[in-house]
Amino acid sequence: MGSGKNAVKPAALTQKQRIRASIHTVLTVSKNNSGKTVEGRLAREITAIVNGDSKAVSDKELAHKQARENRGKSEDLHI
C-alpha cells in the first residue's frame, strides 16, 4: 500500500456541527497549554482567541485554506 497525501475535503457544516467543532478545538488546544485547572487554561485560550493569537484560530484557518485548495482536486478523484 502506498502512502498518499491526506486531503481535507471541503464540506459544509450545519450550525450545530460548527459549534461542536469549535468547542472541541478550543478544549483540545487549551488542554495542551500549561496550567493546573481547566478553568485557567480555558480562560487563557479564550483570551488568546479574542486577541487573535490562538492556535485554535490558526488551525481553523489552515484547514479552511487546505479545503479550498483541494476543492478542485476532490472533484477529479470521482471517477
Residue 79 confidence (pLDDT) above 50: no
Dist. CA 75–CA 32, nearest whole Å = 36
Confidence band for 6, pLDDT divided at 50, 70 and 90 = low
77: which 3 cell numbers? 478523484
pLDDT over 90 (residue 15): yes
Query: Using CA atoms, how far apart are residues 53 and 56, in angstroms rounded to an integer?
Result: 9
Closest CA to 11 of 26, 21, 2: 21
Query: Which residues have a Cβ under 8 Å from the Cβ of 45 and sit 6 or more positions away?
Result: 26, 29, 30, 33, 54, 56
Radius of gyration of the chain (CA): 16
